[in-house]
Structure formats: structure tokens, C-alpha cells
Chains A and B, each alone.
Chain A
Amino acid sequence: MYKNGMLRNSPSNELIKKESQFRAIMKRLSKNWFAAVGLVIIIIFIILAILGPTFAPYDYMEMDISNKFAPSSSSHLLGTDDLGRDIFSRLLYGARYSLGLGFAGQIFQLTIGTFLGCIAGYYGGKSEELIMRFCDIIQAIPNILLAVIVSAALGTGFMNTVIALGVGHIAGSCRIIRAQFLPLREQEFVEAEKSINCSNFRVIFRHILPNAISPLIVITTMGVGGCIMSAAGLSYLGLGVQPPTPEWGAMLTASREYMRHYPNLILYPGLCIAIVVLALNLLGDGLRDALDPKLKN
């Protein structure tokens, strides 16, 4: 009973402490004007991605050949493309694909990278050696090159592109988690967990990981932007998500033939990518300062 009491107490203490830390970070973050702007922009884009189709005046596939390359007007806010499709509607639908690819790519790499990093950092020995050599190999191939080759091997499509985008980032997060684990696993609270017969799984994911995750937050925030840009690059090479899907990179690629006479066709999707990535970078910078105020000076 005594043991159970201890167990019941410890998470609630932890919860209170965690919340106050979270609040402190949010407070520092909200004082940073740039980061706040970044966060607001991202939230707006996420809302647009989710609700986009209800706002969109046209369907993203709806063609009107008689009205192609129309300039901006009240019926077509940003004009139409080479097949008479409404660019504004396509951008709204595209937010789903571009943001989706960015976030899903990072979630994919984070899941695998964190898991491998935990194993390597906690157990050490042979498994660590093996995982670290695996990271060496992944990092011996430049990221975009790895994305291209995996995408070429797996074929096009959303899930395959997510894997292709994420694979290169695995090694980075794995290394960071491992480096965080090395000092943590020697600490007293881990010894205490072990002494009350906690399973390894619980020690790793419930007790050490929350202490190790903060450096990953910044990298992942910026990584989402990187994934969005890589996804656009893959589309440009004819890999990744294919037209007529209105992913922003695919829209850019589809209209590059007309860039001489209709430069606005490639201007808008590119601006969308740039704004989202800029917002993510602003937020990432702000998070870095908020998580570690020492760094700022």
C-alpha cells in the first residue's frame, strides 16, 4: 500500500511542476513579438487547411477552359491557371497537402528517431553501437538526395512522400535524444524508479523522455518548414505528390512553362510556402529563446 501511495503521489507532483514550467515558457514566448506573429500565422494556416474547402469558392478540379489565365477579379480572387482553375481555391486545398506533408513527415521521423534514440541512450552497449552506425550511414547521404531516392523507389503518393521526407531527419533526432539520455540515465530519479521495480519501458518513456525532449521541439518546428520545402522540391522533380493534386510545389511545377507570360502563377504558391516556412522559423527561434533563456544573452 505504501508503494502504491508513492506511485499515486509522484505523477500528480510532476503534473503541477510540469504545468508551471509550461506556463513559464508560454509567458516568455508570448513576450516575444516575432514568435507570437509566427504562431498566429501558423494557426491561421492550419485553420485554413482544415476548413479551406468550405471557404473555397470553387472546387480545386473545376476547369473553365474559356476563362484560362484570367487576371485577379471579384469572381476569381487570384485569377485562374492554364486550365481555368481558380488559383485561390487551389491554394486553400493545397494548404492541406503541403502542411500535411510537413507535419506528417516530422511526426514520422520523430516517432522512429525518438524510439531509436531512447533505446541507444538507455541501454547503451551493442544496441547503441548499432543504432549510432545506422545514423552515420543515414547522415552520409545528403537529406534531399535520400528523399529523392526513397521517393523514386517507393513511388509517388502521400504516404510514400511522408516516408521519403522523414527518413533523412531520423538520424538527427536520434542523436539528440541519445545525447540527452546519457547524463539523465545516471541520475538519482532513474535509480529510484529502478529500485521500486519500474519497468524499463516506463522509466524510458514516462520518466526520462519528458526531460529529454525539449531540444527536439525547436528542431522539429523548423523541420516542418524544411519538409514543406523539400516536398515542393520533390514535386518539382516529378516525384512526391503529383498533379492535379494542388500541393503548392506541384502547382509551381505545373505552371513553370508559363512563367514568362504569367509570372503570377508561380508567385502565389511560392509566397504561400515562404510565409508558412517563415512563420515556423519565427516560432522556432522564439521557442529556442523561451526554452533556454540563458542562450539569448
Chain B
Amino acid sequence: MIRFITKRIILMIPVVVIVSILIFSIMYFSPGDPVEVILGGKATDVEIAAKRAEMGLDEPFIVQLGDFLYKFFFKMDLGRSYITQKSVWGEIMVRFPRTLMFAVGCMVLSVVVGVPLGVTAAVHRNTWIDRTCMVFALLGISLPEFWLAMQLVIIFALKLGWLPAYGIGGPQYYVLPVIAGSVHGIAKQARQTRSSMLEVIRSDYVTTARAKGHSETTILYKHALPNALIPVVQVLGNNFAISLGGALILENVFSIPGIGTYLTAGIAARDYPIVRGCVIFLALVFSIIMLLVDLAFAFIDPRIKAQYEKQGAKRKATGREINV
């Protein structure tokens, strides 16, 4: 098992490095000159050249890339913002907890609401309860998140005045963003839970549990659900990643000063260190989550754990990698 974890972490490193190179290159070769943005339209050519040399932007591409990678991987330094001159890594660390809080909130809500919804639908298969649940789930994945967010703001903040419309502060500031951000997650979770519950619910061991006289809740949540959990955890991981991405738009709707607003402001100002810093950071977090999901599978399902261990042994024997 430990060998598997180490192997996964080692495999993650080249992905993160190549993502960094990719993002750096995309930003490097994209149109628009940051120096002109900083100095404004009136600067002379001499001034621009001097500024460019001062910022190290006159170096060849490969030197700049090497410098960037070295600083990021060995010094945890993502450079400084062109405009405010603040450290990007420092700023991300200040803002990340807010984004994380939003994403975790979305994930928790999607599990707490989505899983019971899916179980209920599966139990009452082909009845009106099932149909209602699934129609709502289908509606949920069809609504654009930021449009829903705007409607929530109109109703609960502007008309009723129950909750703040934007900004950050106490927990009440997160209520609307989390609801708007988790609707997709709830819907996906409910659909996935329903279909994987349907597979296990007619198994023999469920009949056995019923014959032993367990209560229906015990049967569902202790015997059936754990066996249906793998796809559910998969969706959970995906949802978490999607809410990190969704933060990009929803943070702008609610003016939450998290990574999403930082990134979009960086794009608008052509402040490249901010843009690539945020994207690389989010990609890193995303890869870590995917790793955790894979590991969670092993803890939930002994069969997968055995498979991982067997895979390690097999690879040792043949010396070849098996693609999954």
C-alpha cells in the first residue's frame, strides 16, 4: 500500500512540472505586453526597453522558464505581481482559505443532500417519489450556476434582505455562494447514488439483512450504501474539483476575495505572475484531491486495495507499467 502511495506521488511530479511549463508558455506567447500595461500608453520605447530589462523580460524564453520553475519548485516563490509588487504566493495563501471554505461547503452540502436523495429515489424506484427526485436532479444540472446565484441574490438578499449579497465576514456570507455552488453537485451526487444503489439493492445480502429483521434504515445505510460507495466517492472528488473551478465565477458574483477573483483580476490586468501562479496552484490542489480520492477507494473497498497491491507486485515482476 505504501509503495502504491509513493508511486502515485512520484507520478504526480512530472504532471505538475509539465502543467507549469504549459501554463508558463501559454502566458508567455499570448498577445499583449505587460510592460505597456504597467507604464501606460505614453511611455517611450527607451523607457519600455529599460523596464523590460529591469523585470527580466528581455531574457530568452528558455531562461525565463528555467528561472520560473527553479523558483517555484525549490523556493515556493511564484514571483511578484507586476502591478502591486506583492508576492503571489503570499497573496494566494491569504486568499486560499476562503476558496477552500467555499469548496468544502459545496462538497459537504452536496453529500448531505445528494446522497439521501439518491437513496430515497432508488428505494422508491419507478414511483412518483423517484420521478420527482430525478426531475429535480435533472433541473439541477441544467441551471447555469452563476445565473442561479444571481436569482438567489435577487430573492434572498435584495427582496427579502435575509442574507448579505456580497463580500465576506461571518458564516452567513457563505450561505448563498455555497447553495448556488452546490446545486450541480447535489444533482450529480443524487443521480450517481441512485444508479449505484439500484445495483446493490437487490443483492442477496440485502435480502439476508432484511430476513434477519434489521430496520430498513440500517439495511440501507449500513449494508447497501457502503457497497455502492465507490462511484459516490468518485463524484465527490469530482465535485470538489469542480467547485474549485466554479469558485472562479461564483467568487466574482459574490465578490469573495478568494483565488477566483484574484485570477480574473490578473487576467484583466495581464498580470502574468498572478495568472500562472493561481492556475498552477489550483492544478496542484486538484491533483492532490484526485490522489486522495484514489486512496479513499482503497480504504472503502478491500478488493481495490488488493488490486493496488497486486499491481505493484506485477509491475515489479514485469518491469512494465500497466495503464488503468
Residues of A within 8 A of B (CB): 128, 132-133, 136-137, 140-145, 148-150, 152-155, 225, 229, 232-233, 236-239, 249, 252, 256, 259-260, 263, 266-267, 269-270, 273-274, 277-278, 281-282, 285
Contact = CB atoms under 8 A, between A and B. Distances in A.
Interface of B: 14-16, 18-19, 22-23, 26-27, 29-31, 138-139, 141-147, 150-151, 153-154, 158, 241-242, 244-246, 248-249, 252-253, 263-264, 267-268, 275, 279, 282-283, 286-287, 323
A137 B29 CA distance: 19
A266 B248 contact: no
A175 to B, nearest CB: 10
A273 B19 CA distance: 32
Contact of B249 (A225, A233, A260, A285): A233
Contact of A266 (B18, B147, B158, B246): B147
B323 A132 contact: yes
Contacts of B248: 144-145, 148, 233, 237
A182 to B, nearest CB: 9
A237 B146 CA distance: 11
Contacts of B147: 232, 252, 266, 269-270, 273-274
Most buried by A among B26, B141, B143, B146: B146
A144 B142 contact: no
Given A137-B22, A153-B29, A273 B15 contact: no
A281 B142 contact: yes
A270 B245 CA distance: 20
The 3 closest A-B pairs by CB, nearest first: A142-B245, A270-B147, A153-B30
A39 B113 CA distance: 30
Contacts of A229: 144-145
Given A142-B241, A142-B245, A148-B263, 10 more contacts: A140-B19, A141-B19, A142-B244, A155-B31, A232-B144, A236-B146, A249-B144, A252-B146, A273-B147, A281-B138
19 contacts: A141-B283, A142-B241, A145-B279, A148-B267, A150-B26, A153-B27, A155-B30, A229-B145, A232-B147, A233-B248, A236-B146, A239-B267, A249-B144, A266-B147, A270-B150, A277-B142, A277-B143, A277-B144, A278-B138
